[in-house]
Structures are given as structure tokens and as C-alpha cells.
Structure 1
Amino acid sequence: MSSQIRNQLVEALTALADPTVAVNRSRFFKSGPGEYGEGDKFRGLTVPQIRSIEKTYRKMVDLDSAVDLLASEYHEDRLLALLLMNYLFARGDQEQKTKVYEAYLANTSWINNWDLVDSSARFIIGPYIESGDRSILYELAESANLWERRIAVIATYHLIKQNDFADILRLAEILIDDRQDLIQKAVGWMLREAGKQNLAVLIGFLDKYAEKMPRTMLRYSVEKLPDGLRTDYMGRGRRSHK
């Protein structure tokens, strides 16, 4: 049954493939030589099209089918698989949630671009660890794999929305010297989200670390602050990442 459903999903994706869109998506997600998405392949679908397929098939798909689809060379297939896993997690009992969580962590090699991480980590990893062991965040944060580090950061989005800031603050400290632009952006984004929930939390972190933060991380974190305050913190930040 798993392979049959997977084939139906691939047929649905293939039917909407557009070579022009594929070229544009390939450029947007930096799949050229030496870029962060090097070697990724695209069928040429828009995100709304992929979400429409997910809604059509979500009640027919089991976890095995979603994981099978995740192991695809095509970016859109992997995004669809992760959206289906989000659904299976959200609608599942605790046993099902555990299976989805474990399958996600066992297949991080396929969750290999920022949109794939951002569309899934906060809906699976974050909720699962909310009331339990959070050590996985720190294991991922120490990974040599860029995308696993980003998973750790984006997973805290769910916690932040529950006014739980301890992990993003600790991860921001751990990753403050990370040289990857996509990690700096992710950390800055999550700090900004923390500030939306509780401005004092963000201000406290900035007062302590603004002078050490890479410019990109700092810029993302202060984006929603009042003009004067934002200018003040940007003036404290280091000019380059050494």
C-alpha cells in the first residue's frame, strides 16, 4: 500500500510540473555548484500547488508512504512528504506522534533546505519535546550539518509561542559564532519572535550579547524594535564575522 500511495502522490506532482518554474525555483533555492542547495532537483510546482495536493491526499497517507516520498531527489516531493508528516503528527495519538518524531530525526539528510526545515521543525520537533527531554536540540545544534542546526533553532518557535524562552536563549549563545548565514538568520528570527512575546527577554539578551553577535543575526533580531532602539543596538554590533 505504501508504494501505491507514493506513486499516486508522484503522479499528482508530475501532472503539475512546469519546467520554467523548476528553473526559477532552482535559482531561488541556490542549487548551483558551491551553493547551499547544491544538486537539488525541482519538478516546478508552487507551494500552493503542493499544499493543495497535501490536502487532497492527507487522509489516505500513512507514515511509511510519507517517509518513502521524503527520500526523493525532488525538492517538491520532500516538501509534500513533510507537510503530510505534519498532518500525521498533529492528528495522531502519542504513539503516532512518537513514530513521526523518530522518523523525522532518522531522515534529516532529506530535510536539506531552509524551507523544508522551516515548514516542519516547529510543527513536529517543537511540540514533541515541549513537555519532555529537550536534549535533542543541543545535539542538533552541535551538528556539522547546517540543516540539523537550523532544525534545532526553528523547533524553538513552538516553545517561544508558549512563552518558553530558555532554549532559544541558550541556543543563541551556543550558535553566536556560527559562520553560516542561514543559521544567523534563523537565530535572529527566533530572537525577534521571542521579543514579540516578551520584549524584556529580547532586550536582556541584546544588552548582554549585541556586541558579540554577527551583523546578520543582530539585524534580524532587532527588526521590529522602535527605530531609535534598533539603531542603538545595530551600532553596538560587530562589523564583520571573524
Structure 2
Amino acid sequence: MHLLTKEIIAIYTANQDPVRAVGMAAYMKNHFSFLGISAKDRRTLIKEQMKASKNLELAELFQVFEALYQQEAREYHYAAIDLLERNIKRIPNDMTAILPYLAFIQEKAWWDSVDALRKPISLWVKHHQKSPLAEVMNWLMASENMWDRRVAITLQLQWKEETDLDWLSKTIVQNEENPTFFIQKGIGWALREYAKTDATWVINFVAAHQAKLTPLAVKEALKHQ
């Protein structure tokens, strides 16, 4: 096990709060165990380790990321994602470099980790001037896994005027008849966010697809219209 991984585990273990952990696990419907460390404390406690991660070789970076994800407590999974985000601009513009991380979308997956992992993946695509967008989208959309599909739908959140509307449309149309709650919620979220940039486009898109979209997706998409 890499020294950085050992340090993070030791720090978190020493700062766990079993009482708070019960409430945190209950909030996540007991899908995962928790140490009881708040998001703020979780990041503050390993600030130096995150800083040191900038000096890791890329192979070491993935080693630490993977080892953290292998731990039982959810805080370690969050730390792994924070680690990736901290170093995402160092990942080269090569699908073989990002694929090992994309594979973790399905690992111990629930909405919290999936939506958190989407962020560094999105940052990586934008950092490389969106040139990997098609490859990433095609990979995600080829998957039958709902979490991969959710990331495809929400990948461009907060891209505003830089949003690629062709890809936004494709990801939604591919999944518009999928009744899965997290898919439909993701569709609504993506459209509602883009409506902040172009409400007319979203209103027209929803009108054109309302027969296939679920009431949940429509409601979420038009929440602020």
C-alpha cells in the first residue's frame, strides 16, 4: 500500500465519529458505512496529503485512488474522487489514461459518488478543449449501466454557452423512455441547468419530447420556468 494511502487511512481512523456516522449512513439509506467525518473536515484533515499528491507519478496516483476506493467507509471513496479532481489536469488527453477512472463510475455506485466523479471527468474534457468529448460520450452511452448513462446526460452541467447541444440532445433522446428514477432525474437536472443559459431552447426541447419524457423529467426541467 502506498504511503499516501496509509496516511489518509490513519488520519481518518483517528478522527472518526461513530455517533455522527450513524446519521450519515441513514441519510444514504445505509448503502454504505461511514466514519462520521463531515465534508469540510474530510478535506481539511488531508490537506497536506492532497498537496503531496501533485508529486505522484500517474501510475501512483491511480494506485492511491484505487486503494482508497477499496476501503469500506464512504469517506475514502469521496477522498479518492477529491484526489482525482486535484490532479485531473495532469491526466493526458488520451482515452487510455481516463478509462481506468471512468470504470469507477460503477464501483460502489450511488448518486453521491457518481455525481461527484462526474465533476473531474467533465473538467478533464474541458481542460483538453473538449476534444475528448465524443470519445467519452460514446463510451458512456454504449454502456447499459444507469450510472454511466447518468454521467453522459449530466456531463455538461454548468458548461453554459459551451454546452454541445447535439450531445445533450443525443444523451437525453437515448434515455428519454428509460423510466429509471436516477436517469429521469438526471435528464431534468441537465435541462434545468441549461435553461439558465437558454430557457427557450429547453422549453422547446421539452415540448417536442414531452410525450416520451416522464412527468418527473419534465417537472425538473421546467422547475424555474
Structure 2 length-normalised TM? 0.84
- How far apart in 2 are the matches of 1:16 and 1:183? 36
The answer as to 2:116 corresponding to 1:119 is yes
Query: Would you say 1:108 and 2:100 are equivalent positions?
Result: no
In structure 2, C-alpha distance between the alignment counterparts of 1:107 and 1:202, rounded to whole Å = 31
After superposition, the C-alpha distances for 1:47-68 in whole angstroms (9 at most, x for unaligned) are: 1122223533212223121222
Q: Deviations over 1:4-36 (max 9, x none)?
A: 1101101121122112222212221123xxxxx
Question: What 5-or-longer segments of structure 2 have no aligned partner?
Answer: none
The aligned residue for residue 195 of structure 2 is: 195
CA distance in 1, matches of 2:160, 2:137: 14
Which residue number corresponds to residue 176 of structure 2?
A: 176
Q: SS at 1:94's partner residue?
A: coil
Partners in 2 of 1:100 and 1:30 — Cα distance? 34
> CA contact under 8 A between 2:17 and 2:36: conserved in structure 1?
yes
Shift of 1:160: 4.5
Count of residues in Structure 1 that have an aligned counterpart in Structure 2: 215
Superposed, 1:15-164 pairs within 5 Å as 15-31=14-30, 37=31, 40-61=32-53, 62=56, 63=61, 64-90=63-89, 92=90, 94=92, 101-110=98-107, 112-125=109-122, 127-128=124-125, 130-157=130-157, 159-160=159-160, 162-164=162-164
* Conserved 8 A contact 1:184-1:216: yes
Superposition RMSD in Å:
2.4
Tell me the equivalent position of 2:223.
223
The alpha-carbon deviation at position 88 of structure 1 amounts to: 0.5
- In structure 2, what is the Cα distance between the partners aligned to 1:150 and 1:193? 15
Conserved in 2, the CA contact under 8 Å of 1:153 and 1:187? Answer: yes
Distance across 2 between alignment mates of 1:138 and 1:217 = 23
Deviation of residue 126 (structure 1)? 5.4
- Structure 1 distance, partners of 2:213, 2:67, is 40
Counting aligned pairs with the same residue, the percent is: 22
